[in-house]
Structure 1
Amino acid sequence: MRRMSLSARLTATFVAITAACFILVGWLLYRAAEQRIYEQDETNLVLSARHIRRFVAELGSVDDLKAHQDRVTISVLGDPSNALRIVDGAGRIVVDHNAMGYRLDIQSVVPTDQRIVSSMLRTWHDDRGLPIRGVAVVGQLQDGARVTIVVARSLADREVLLRRYGRDMALRLLAGMLAAILLSYVLVRRALRPLHSMATDAATIHAQSLHTRLSAGNAPAELHALSGALNDMLDRLENGFARVWQFTVDLAHDLRTPIGNLRGTNEVALTRPRTSAEYQALLGSNIEECDRVSRTIESVLFLARADNPQFALQRVTLDVEAELERIADYFEGVASEARVAIEISGGATIDADRELFRRAVGNLLSNALRYTPPEQVIKLVAGEANGTVTVAVENPGAGIPAEHLEKLFDRFYRVDRSRSDSASSTGLGLSIVKSIMELHGGRVTVESQLRGITRFVLWFPARRTS
């Protein structure tokens, strides 16, 4: 099923609200007009009944009433819908003004000592089904005789008037709704024109034009917020594409070198017969290059898994000092060969993944061993303060220029790509350290002084309590 467009939905919403308001206002106006008309008729009936009863009270007898019936009927003259009937005590009609021949009901009458009010009016229907509203009251002549006065009015003409008024109002409401539909659609389309323009611009953006940004122009503030959010998303996508592209280029470069070395040494070896010792040396060199490729691939796979939100940590409670002792023992042979000492101080307890913790500290220690001069000391320092556990790896050396510090944790980044020992590193060690810390909800920082101390610090959150 085809979905409604935003323009159609907004138009339908506006029209529904407008129609509801029109209908409510129309109904209120109709009820007000109906009430006003009927109130006026009731007031006229009550005043006529009062006037006639007072006039009857001034007459001496029924004969005087007959003689002055013109003065009595003057109260209801001028409107053929009005009717008047006066009946004496014997049930004889004394005065009768009923041009339309309505059936007048005199079953319930108002006594002479009771004031006539609108609530005493009654409504009934005659034999033709016409609605009649009126009141029957008792009047007393001066000779003591009593007569029944019935004043009434047909409501048929009022109902016809109200029906005509309701029909006219309904037609006008329908015309207003049609106009509202047309104007709402035009205005909504015009208001959404910047959104259509943004959608058109967005459709032209692809991988080769991620630098393009959306412009809201003179659009409403809400679209400016949407445009800003989309542009921020495009910034992130562009940065992500740039990082992926650079990562791919760096990965290809790092893999091309060992693969080229493997091919080159094998081609040289095949140019002429070699001795068994030469072939053994060649195979040893090939294994070293294969190890380098394996390390690079394993590091790339780890970073890919770490970027997955579903990566699960196996958190356990770790004694940081004991773990640093184990890591130092593991690197003891390499440190002895480099004539570098490893010194451990401090202690703390954290909840972390044991293997990832060892890998992060091991990567930092491996870097420190690579760049620490002989006869120097690398310090592993653990501490806890302000709810945070820190593990620092400090080593003396040439130091790192300040302009490189912010990029150290980028993938495949090296301060000096021409270093002779760059082949022993994949350029991913510090990136892995950063990913491990982010998985633990922590961070890694670095401080370095030229020809001084370089200090990497792992910041772990304090232990979680049950």
Structure 2
Amino acid sequence: MLSYWIKSLSVRLWLTSVAALAVSLTAIAAIVLYAFNHLPADRFRVSESIRSAHQLASDLRFDESGRPVSIKLDERATWLFDFASTELLYRALDASGHVLLASRGALDNASWDTGDLTSSLGVMKHVTINGKPFDVVTLEIMHGQTPFFIQSAASVAFNKAVLGEKIEPIPEIVAYTLLIATIIFGLTLTFTVRRVLLPLRVASDSAASITPQNLRTRLSVKGVPSEIKPIITAFNDALARLENGFAVQQQFLASAAHELQTPLTLIRGQIELQPEVENKDLLFREIDLMARQVRQLLHLAEVSESQNFEFGEVDKVDVVEDVVDYLARKADKKQVKLHVDAPAIPATMQADRSALFILLKNIVENAINATPTRGSVIVSVDQTTICVQDEGPGVNPEDLPFLFERFWRAPDAQYDGAGLGLSICKEIALAHNWKLTVKTLATGTQFIVSF
């Protein structure tokens, strides 16, 4: 499981994206912190002083005669100018420099600037007021055709204290912001990645469902990312080639088996008509074995194509009894008893009757071959399964994985065969969506067909 997650595309995308975000945010945070720690504090003081001056200018109110009468401060600013009346000051002046309006701590007419008012507009100057250093910003305000000036002053000590209060929590805020942003991004990315990779999972499920019985299926490229489409297209092309090769193989099997049947029949007839031929029984045995293999090849070619099946209502018990009757002569010849354990009521199902007959015939025939003389083969039928149990030596556990492979025969097999019977059974079971299982018992083997 760990190896799966390590190699997972979803996990790799998630880790890469989260890592990229974390690195980016860390770099931005580092730049911000570097700026706060290394840039001169005067830069922040200038910005803050100019901002305060513009706020005062926008809040300046005039009477009907056009004379400044008040500055409409908000509650916070009013409290600051009252509480720190000696540290925060403002004045409104006319063009001659006379004070028309001032805060409580700036009621004197002493000049805050040594030069002309117009020479220092919009910039911060360092001046001394009442023996203390102040940062002063002067702005010009036009009311109609009359110019007025507004001056905002804050002591250097006050500005540094306020600036420190604002800057000090910034590193901690940046750190928490970085952490929270990474967590939120990681959680949302999980759903995003699942959404993006959904077409791949759909394609994977479709590919897993493809079997020799439905080689005509093709994977859809709808919604698949452009980078993945060439892989899906190549896979579909490979399926087309595989389907064509499989069809050619099945056609060859059917044609070859069909063409072999007639010559074998003729050969057997010619041998029967030639009294001088020696070892006829041995020749007949070989011809019959070859004929059986040819029939199995024909069956294999037929059951490998789903269109060859004709589904209908089938009584399982009737089919089982037909199989037992068909193999009764073989069982009697070997002195093996065939026993059917079936319910009295009909047990119907949807299936191809011929295919079910072939499946059960192959299994029961194998059971007869494996059962010793005077043994028995039991065929049990219920609503969901058909079980065939013999009294043979059983199947070696190491042979179980190869049991249904084409042309495979157990190394210690005691009877003739081509190794195709169980392969045919498997193809029929797959075409009907049945489950074919094998159990090795204390005595014998049990084949179970589950519907």
TM-score when normalising by structure 2: 0.40
TM-score when normalising by structure 1: 0.39
Q: Which has the larger radius of gyration?
A: 1
